Structure 1
Amino acid sequence: MMNQHFSENTFKSANDVKQWITEEALKLGFADCGFISVQHPLFAKQMQHLKAWLEKGYEGQLQFLHNNHELREHPERLVEGAKTIISVRMDYLADPIKPRSIEDNLRPNHAIIARYARGRDYHKTMRGRLKQLAGRIEAQLPKWRHLDISANCDFVFRPFSDSAPIFERAIADAAGLGWTGKHTLLLNKSAGSFFVLGELFISLELPDDNPITPHCGSCQACIDVCPTQAIVAPYEVNARACISYLTIEHQGSIDIKYRRAIGNRIFGCDDCQLICPWNRYAAITPVEDFLPRNGLDSSSLLELWHWSKDTFLKNTQGSPLRRTGFDNFLRNIAIALGNAPASQEIIDALLSQKNTHGAMLDEHIDWAITEQQQKARQILTTIL
């Protein structure tokens, strides 16, 4: 049994319980955790923000955001008997970065995949470890029965990681894990933003943690650097223009006006994080699941372009890349090849996939070939 040295007398208050849970979370690889009530006032406020954002049409094809508003505003109805939400974060950066520098732009022939997606799908890792945390909490309940935290009742828990209609980032913000940056991601003063979030709903009644003071100040580096100008105002993102949305969630043809700005990003985008000065404190992950697999941190565009569907399915097993699907994966690479430096090898590779995957991909291949040919002509004009 875990922590046999803890006796009932060790826990004199609910805050002692919170401290014990936090220590166990850290042992499981979480970087931090915080606590808020399932009936916290933030949910009604966030619901108002969501509805106002939806009215502007910024959600694009994310139609699920129009559903389950009642559960978003009343998360206590999501898990019957739950009283407290434990919010956790987990660092995912596998290699050091140079803050305030978009180093990805120095590799135009490489496929740039968002750093969170280069290893195992974090959702499974997060939920698995949250279940372990719940098991450790449940084993301690007999030592907490003298406290007024509902430890005498049947223990209820449920882990989430981007898997329920809840305001995940806002919960972490309210629980003191960081503050919401102008790019709408969570920022932590000692860890930057390269981390993922998860939640554990439990039936214990524990005191709320407090939010922390924001520290973005007058900085708007993330707004200025966004390739598609998707951050339309501080704390407001037009998902329809966001490269992460376009390369992962958007189905079908990508609007021509965004294609050049996408560059060689084939799954997600880290630019607003890479430019952020707080990421000079970004920590390297201790979690092996986040380490890159199958060369997804160093593959060339042409290498991935030649993957068959079977190869794609094999090399993305247990990977977030599965979410985009094979055809959209090729669509994204076609755009990136069009944006790559002029090369006859690229044009030949693009032509080799024509008329094999349908009209949607062919349209992006044609665009990419045109872009390549225009750049080749410009080079000739310069030489002559």
Structure 2
Amino acid sequence: MRPPGDIRAELEAKATELGFDAFGVTGAVLSEEVSARLRDFVAKGRHGTMEWMETRLHHRESPQGLWPEARSAIMLGVNYGPKDDPRLLLDAPEYGNISVYARGKDYHDLVKKRLKAFARWIVETYDCELKVFVDTAPVPEKPLASAAGLGWQGKHTNMVSPRFGSWLFLGAIYTDMNLPEDTPHRDQCGSCRACIDACPTNAFPAPYQIDARRCISYLTIEHKGPIDEVYRRALGNRIYGCDDCLAACPWNKFAKTSHEAAFHARVELGAPALADLVVLDDATFREVFSGSPIKRIGRDRFVRNVLYAIGNTGDREHLPAVNNLCHDATDVVRDAAGWAKAQLEGEA
């Protein structure tokens, strides 16, 4: 039997060899503070229509809540740092602004493939049991990553890495091995509130708290119906997600552009023209966004977002396309088209 410390060192070396940029280990039980914060988030309804947050709450509170045999959580990160500040496009209203993580290929595919390769090696080497996760199960990735020393949860509730700023994809491996735990990273936000002040919809009721119902990422991705009119102007040209709070973090001065070509912005998604996106039918939408995380929200929700952005341009040249969609087969598109039409015609 190898000493646990040696096993941990071997795991980190293999993770680096496979292309992971960050590695850490923590125990399979999280603090009561983490559980209490999650329960409070759900009790206040701040999860919006994400029902799975409530129905699988007990699974998300700690690794052992999901898998009682878990003893350690191996936390891994992959840098997806953008080349430029993602907010630059916000000053170009004729183009759609897409969250950095969705401008390239679907990170789930790349990270999960890498995690599975790592998991196979671990099982073959140490004859243990494990489970692999990448944003597809009720796993508290951010609290675990903080406990494992990858960084800390900032005031925007997202991870902040001293090496990569705001730009880390997280993956987790639960194992029945007892591994030495890393020291949790201390919070280094200090008195800064750049992320909170950057939010266009005031989605942070207080530091370290978020109300998803006001968050543009939630509204444009998870929310299925019409977006409340009070937020439509604030969307600007954000048509899929929002990076404002992430990009505002001063720790991004240490961020590095991702070395993964798959995460670099596809040419057609770096600055897509709204006029091209609003005319997509279902088949063309699926073709354009094949291999992209955007594909999962479907054509109707995506065109809904594009119509809100068009309504915010003030450019009446979009009216023919908008008028066509006022007769779309789906309610959510017709509603968004009607709003955009009213904005462009000055009838709001």
* Superposition TM-score tier, normalisation by shorter sequence: over 0.9
Cα distance in 1 for partners of 2:135, 2:319 equals: 39
Q: Which residue among 240, 259, 283 is the counterpart of 1:310?
A: 283
1:11-22 to 2 correspondence within 5 Å?
13-22=3-12
1:249 to 222, 225, 241: 222
Greater mean alpha carbon deviation, residues 204-213 or residues 257-266: 204-213
Q: Which residue of 2 aligns with 1:300?
A: 273
Q: Which of 331, 339, 343 pairs up with 2:304?
A: 331
Aligned length: 348
Tell me how far 1:96 sits from its aligned partner: 3.2
Normalising by structure 1, we get a TM-score of 0.86
SS of residue matched to 1:236: coil
Distance 2:14 2:20 in 1: 9
- Report the counterpart of residue 259 of structure 1 in structure 2: 232
How far, CA to CA, are the matches of 1:368 and 1:69 in structure 2? 38
Q: Distance in 1 between matches of 2:224 and 2:30?
A: 36
Would you say 1:26 and 2:16 are equivalent positions?
A: yes
Q: Among 46, 53, 57, which residue is 1:69 paired with?
A: 57
What's the counterpart of residue 50 of structure 1?
38
Question: Cα–Cα, structure 1 residues 78 and 312, in superposed 2: closer, same or farther, change >3 Å?
Answer: same
Rg larger for:
1
Q: TM-score, normalised by structure 2?
A: 0.94
Match of 1:135 in 2: 120
Matches within 5 A, 1:1-384: 13-38=3-28, 40-42=29-31, 44-76=32-64, 78-79=66-67, 81-97=69-85, 102-141=87-126, 154-293=127-266, 295-340=268-313, 342-374=314-346
SS at match of 1:237: coil
Shift of 1:80: 5.7
Q: Identify unmatched segments of 5+ residues in structure 1.
A: 1-7, 142-153, 378-384
Q: Give the superposition deviation at 1:74.
A: 4.8
Alignment identity in percent? 36
167-176 or 63-72: which moved more? 63-72
**Alpha-carbon distance in structure 1 between the residues aligned to 2:16 and 2:85:** 24
SS state at 2:205 partner = strand
What CA distance in whole angstroms lies between the structure 2 residues aligned with 1:112 and 1:290? 16
Equivalents in 1 of 2:79, 2:169: separation in Å?
7
Moved more, 128-137 or 223-232: 128-137
Q: Give the Cα separation in 1 of the matches to 2:267 and 2:328.
A: 25
In structure 2, list runs of 5 or more residues that go unmatched. Answer: none
CA deviation after TM superposition for structure 1 residue 71, in Å: 2.3
Shift of 1:353: 2.1
